[in-house]
Structure 1
Amino acid sequence: MTNLTPAPDTESASDKGLDARLVVHRGSFHLDVSLSAAPGDVVALLGPNGAGKSTALRALAGLTPLSDGGHLRLDGAALDRTPPESRPVGVVFQDYLLFPHLTALDNVAFGPRCQGVPKTEARAQAAAWLELMGLADHAGAKPRRLSGGQAQRVALARALATHPRLLLLDEPLAALDARTRLDVRAQLRRHLAGFEAVAVLVTHDPLDAMVLADRLVVVEHGRVVQEGTPSDIARHPRTDYIAQLVGLNLYQGQAEGHEVRLDTGAGTGTGAATTTITTTEDLTGPVFVAFPPGAVTLYRDRPTGSSARNLWQCRVGGLETHGDQIRVDLTGELPLAADLTTVAVAELGLHPGAPVWATVKATQTHAYPA
């Protein structure tokens, strides 16, 4: 049985992995992203459209040249000037780009054949990879006969069959429907767990990143704005984009003990400079404050018996379905989002423009240094 362990090499352990500074200047867009990863790491690049994720991936693959100041080293070897076809890099593209005239078996055997492996041996290796991916029964099928999930696994097998030291995955689940995506995500996680080189995943889907990656690198406007483990990123967002990604209200201000005075225009809206949030943390200086929309309780009239330390007068800016709840966007003293059940929205009679009072308990907020 073939495993996902790349072919052995003779580099010392200290040289293993990825060390890159991806500098690309293209028109008015400038990318400057540093990446490092050890063998076995799965790193996800996250960011809004136009942030530079795909440019970074193309630079890693050698499809976009680096500008002055950039470098790319893999297992201690400089790849800056190495042509794409000579790099120990495997790529799974968003649309898979399988050869339509070849069977699944020959698609996977293509890489080893390009490396000089005899046809019979290459096809034997390809068969082993397809068996590992659960596709042994589809070896003779051409891409048009495969489902989206099957095509994704063939593309992954084709990338891994060359024993790459760097695996690049460009939105690998984007072309799948929701039901297939759930199954294939779990399968991909299993395969990546056995991959002993570096994997870099580009995605706009936070769930893909959280499930598949060991570490997240968030890119905005061509720069890294935050990186860390999925749990750290989710708990300590540092930009509005990340806060929205993980579903939190986020504000920035100055802490004095348990009180945080918000900066004008901080966080997810343009809160007044005099607005304060009470937290359980005792901090001093610049901080972020975050809390989930589910922590917000709404009232049509000012509450008199509430134990919540935070109370703001707002207006309903809009309502939209959010999973099995209703996301209520609020404007006013403190712009924020609240998640309510459909029943609660009906009982409160909420509609755009309706005045409401919002409360959040101090115990449901989280403050941390900015």
Structure 2
Amino acid sequence: MTRMHLLTLGFHDSATELAFVRHILPRLRLQGRAAIILGAVVYFLYGAVDHLFVPANLLGQVWLVRVLALIVPLGVLILSYLPWFARHNQLPLGLVGLSAALGLIAMLWYLPLESAAYCFPGMMLATFYTYNLLGTRFIHALLINVAVLLLYNVLFGVVREFPEAVLLSQNFFLISANLIGGAAGYLAEFHRRQLFLREVQLDDERQLHLNRSLHDRLTGLPNRDLLDDRINQALALARRDQARHAGFFVDLDGFKNINDRLGHDHGDIVLRSVARRLESVMRETDTISRIGGDEFFVLIQDIGSCDSAAHLAEKLIAVIEQPIPELPGRHELSASIGICLFPRAGLANTPDSIIRSADLAMYQAKADGRRCHRFAEMLA
């Protein structure tokens, strides 16, 4: 499982980190917007008790600071609706928490010492707000709150020289708020990332089981279920674009002799080798399926003409006949191919009818001496 850095909680694997960031972005947008709106409401409600603690001659200054502090959150709220926010969201969200704390420090700077008890609880709320509500990562919230704590001590411990008892008591509660809020934020992000890894693991397992259920285990090629789905897609495309497709039923000539003479292990080598060779000459839009034993089905979209189909069949036979280095001694391997062009009149134009028509054409190729191809249309 992908490891996380113990302090920053970032994934060591950059691709996993990017996937996680994209995964949480919708939730982060909603959480950030809700936190900004809630924070603005609380910030204004805080002003409802200004008259009880703030001297009348300082009310205007305190409200000016409060309004200025809200400019950053409102700006970030607007930015959250822009594409830019998808790549650069941590800095603006962190600035929201920082502006809340700096606004309270600025208010406290203007107020007399006896009013400190009025602003100080707000600083504790700002600490929890940055750690636990905005959506900022733990490491960013930690850096912001440590900076706020240092600034507070410089301004009120060195410049204004608050009494030692007041400074010590306020530092105790600020540090406690950082420890409690930081621990909660750390654990929440840790579990959120662990849950993401578990979801990725489960998705990978589901995809693996799905691939196994739709692919042949020996060759890795699509099986009959997936082939039927691809044929249905081709039929839908033909109805829309009037395209013409082709199904090639490929049966190996000489495979039984190799399998009986050299054993099943070497027979499996032959089947895997044929599968890789067929893949090497096909386009990505085509489908190669193993539908049982030594039988393969090749679905070619937009084949064009009968001549193109015949040329491709000869090419497939030639590539199958090439020697297989892994087999001991000499061996003779070739293929008989039945071709069904579709859609066409007189055919049900379903996966079963297309495969069955190509299968019958393949048996005609067998009857005509093998190592050749025949068209289902010629048999109709």
By the TM > 0.5 criterion, same fold? no
- Higher fraction of strand: 1
* TM-score range relative to shorter protein: under 0.3
The structure that has the greater radius of gyration is 2
TM-score, scaled to structure 1: 0.21
TM-score, scaled to structure 2: 0.20
Quick one: higher RCO (CA 8 Å, sep 6+), 1 or 2?
1
- Higher fraction of helix: 2
